[in-house]
Every structure is written in C-alpha cells, then in structure tokens.
Amino acid sequence: MAIGQFSVGRWLARCIGLGLCAMALVLAGCSSTRVIDNDVRSYSSLKAMPAPPTYRLERLPSQQVDSPFRDMIERLATSALADVGMQRDDRNGTLRLELNAYANAYMPNWPHYSSWNMGFGYGPWGWAPGFGYGGSWRDMPPTMYVRDVRIVFRNAEGTPVFESTARYDDIWSNDEQIFRSLLQSALEGFPTPPQGERRIRHEIIP
C-alpha cells in the first residue's frame, strides 16, 4: 500500500512538473510574439499583374548617395515584391518603381508627464536630428517610433498606376522587422488591393 501511494505521489508530482513546464513555455512564447498594427492606404488602377511582371527601380535625386538604410530598404522591398510575384529588372522592367521610406523617434507630450519633446530621424535616406526640453527630468514618457513606406508604380509613360503607403507608430524600434512588415502590408493584395484606408496586423517573433 505504501509503495502504491509512493508511486501515485511521484506520478502526480511528475505530471504537475510537466504541466508547469508546458505553461512556462506557452507564456514564454506569448511574451516573445509581438503584434504590429500598420495603417495602410492603397490605390490602384491595375486590373491584373503586368506582363511580364517586372519593374525597374528609379531613385530620386535625394536617393543617389549610398547608405546602410537605403540598402536595407531596397533589399526588403525586393524581397516583398518577389513575394507578390514582381521581379526586379532595372534594364527592361515593365513598371517603374518609386520607393520612399522614413523613420523618426520622439517623446510625446502626454499630460501626465513633464513637458518634453525630442525627435531624430532619417528620410528618405539621411539623418535629421533635433530635440527640445522643458520641465523636470522625472517621469519621462516612453520613446515613440514612427516608420513609414511609400510605394509608387508608374507605367512606361510615367502615369502612376499603383500607390500604397504603410505607417507604424509605437514604442518598438527594430527597423529590420518593422520595415519588412510595412512593405508586406503596403503590397498586400497587389495588384488589386482594397482601395483606401485599412489596418493590417502582423504577429512576429522579435
């Protein structure tokens, strides 16, 4: 009888231990998943995929200087466009792509915090810092980060046939993950996305 009780006790303890471990793993998984809500505006006169489904990237005068930020945006955009079936061909692309990206950080002037404002950013491809302060150093608000992208496709005559923007405004600052999500959101539904404003949610693991 004692042996049976001992075995049952060990079995129960083992089950409880496994249950706690499983719960810890679930909670860890939940805490590591981040939700990004992107505000998107899309407009398109395309009726179907261009034939062939290719594009050439056209840089604006302000985008001629190489930078790590520009390289990242173009790399992520190339990948996001490939996911919707568009291939880059800078010599003979059917559509002409205009690509813009912007980033900024600021501390909001919320009523329950001291008077504080700060900003620094880069857009389209260069840095533009600036900040200001008035009041106590205590109770500083969390830094907010703004990221947005704009994608415009033009036909061979230069007429815009597709325009989409996506914006993220929150406390997370991982440029690589955020801009990947923004570009995917801006291209969701390409070439015939829902017209106008919408919100697209992505769940990612940081």
Q: Tell me the pLDDT band of 121, cut-offs 50, 70 and 90.
A: very low
- Bridge partners of 38? 200
Inform me whether the pLDDT recorded for 6 exceeds 80: no
> How confident is the model at residue 112, as a pLDDT?
57
Ranges of beta strands (E only) in the chain are 34-44, 54-57, 87-88, 95-106, 116-122, 130-133, 144-154, 160-170, 196-204
Q: What is the mean pLDDT of the chain?
A: 79
pLDDT band at 137 (very low <50, low <70, confident <90, very high): very low
Per-domain residue ranges of the chain: 1-32, 36-204
Question: Any idea which of 27-31, 84-88, 143-147, 173-177 has the lowest mean pLDDT?
Answer: 27-31
| Distance separating alpha carbons of residues 72 and 117, to the nearest angstrom | 28
Can you name the CATH fold of 36-204?
Answer: Double Stranded RNA Binding Domain (3.30.160)
Q: What is the pLDDT of residue 204?
A: 76
Three-class secondary structure of residue 27 per DSSP? helix
Q: Say what the pLDDT of residue 118 is.
A: 42
CA distance 136 to 37: 32
pLDDT tens for each residue of 98-112 = 999 999 888 776 555
Residue range 122-140: mean pLDDT, rounded: 45
Q: How far apart are CA 8 and CA 153, in angstroms?
A: 69
pTM: 0.72
Mean pLDDT computed over 75-84: 98
What's CA 200's distance to the chain center, in Å? Answer: 10
Distance CA 170, CA 181 (A): 14
